[in-house]
Structure 1
Amino acid sequence: MFPSILLNFLFPPPPSLYVTTMSVIGISTLTNAGYKECKGKHMQYSKFLNHGVVKKENEMKLSSRTGMLLLYTPSFVVGLLSFLVFPGQDLRFVMLASALTAHFLKRVLEVLFLHKYSGSMGLESVITILLSYTLSTATMIYAQYLSRDFPDPSIDLKYVGVGLFVIGIIGNFYHHCILASLRKDGEKEYKIPQGGLFDLVICPHYLFEIFGYVGISCISQTLYAFAFTLGTIAYLTGRSYAAREWYISKFGDKFPKDIKAFIPYIF
């Protein structure tokens, strides 16, 4: 039986085998991916390309810009199409679809106009991440649609969610700007980032990405949204830990030991 206390915060699970299955798959696969990051088995992009894995002969590579565009564009399109596929929905649905669309639009624009690239992406990683983003976005929207006939949870978190989402998207963008400013045109070397929360943690952009997803979950208040967010937290925790270990191995004593992974003073 769905615990009654959770009904104060969440819609009841919809009678959908698909959504239930995706909830289990989402949280388990992302948690496992985070665990693998901690163990050195990295998704093959960014600084971890060809790091911690046995190189595969003849594996197809894409430019980082192309790979990143492929990651985010389908989810952005899914968000836009949701307004056409599910017209006339309530405010919560519109807020959720708008937040997801804005989230991936921001990412697409950053790929095109902000980020600076130093390498390529493995096709296998591109396909894996692309499917994760696209399926999770579509499932989150579909789960929200299925919840339309349920009464709202007694504790309404959607406006809290909007606030958290705005904090997350602004903080994430700000720290992406700092990362982009580290390299001048033509430079490809990694540097220890400074400024903003980079003086306290090595992955503040991940911390604010989590704020964004928690905000989206609060807007949605569906079990799937929170399950996916918990999985995302697990994955980004592992990724942040791996990033800190990478910086220590690359820069040695030059890397300040008091800088944590992504939670200031704690982790």
Structure 2
Amino acid sequence: MNRVGILSFVLCAITATVSRAQIRVGTLRINANERYEVLQSDIVVADTLIMMDSSVLVLNKLKRENYIRAKVAVFGTYCTIDGRGMDGQSGRNGKAGNTPMGPCDNGTPGRNATNGLAGTPGVNLFLYLERITIRGTLVVDLAGGNGGNGGNGGNGGSGSQGTVHCIGGNGANGGNAGTGGNGADGGVLTLSCTEQPEIKDWIGKKIIFKMQGGHAGRAGRAGYHGAAGLGPSRRNGKDGIPGTERTSGIPGGLGKINFESN
């Protein structure tokens, strides 16, 4: 079994059972430098949650909301709960047009680029604990994903040279740039620790909460126009037209944190 990217359970007192609704375990222990990915569900219920040094708990990013409930939670140093949104893919560049080899022919236009994709929002995490121990720092990363950059438009092909019998070929138009994808919003952390209300004071100290919105994707560059083919006696072709410029995406908004008391 692959130790990276697969759930790693240590069962204490009861056998772990996975249902459609939730994952239930006695003790969930993530060893040092290991990753635990929540794949089958968006709800994890444990009597005891233990994250050793530099371990990572990856939330189910296909679900908008995730829930973690534990009676006792123990975190080592540099632990991370990863619910960050996924970055959008960059757009494809447009293919450049061709410049013909034969005389007096027009160039072919550059292809349009595709747009960058939007990022996905950070997970909304409901973290319900009764008692918690943090030996170092716990990072809860619910930042929004970045927008993908737009692709560059393809350059237009140039016209070939003219002869005494025909004028130079026309340059072709450049391809349009791709629009940048939007950055996604940061997620919302809802935190409850019934036996330790002082957990509010740990934010920014023992608990580092990342909730920033994703960066906007940049617009691509429009394709350059193809140059006119030159002919004798100034019997030149015409220059092409540059492609259309596009706009960058919109940055994502900040997430937030809510405290609940039972």
- What TM-score does the superposition give when structure 1 sets the normalisation length? 0.23
Which has the larger strand fraction?
2
Structure with the larger RCO, 1 or 2 (CA within 8 Å, 6+ apart): 1
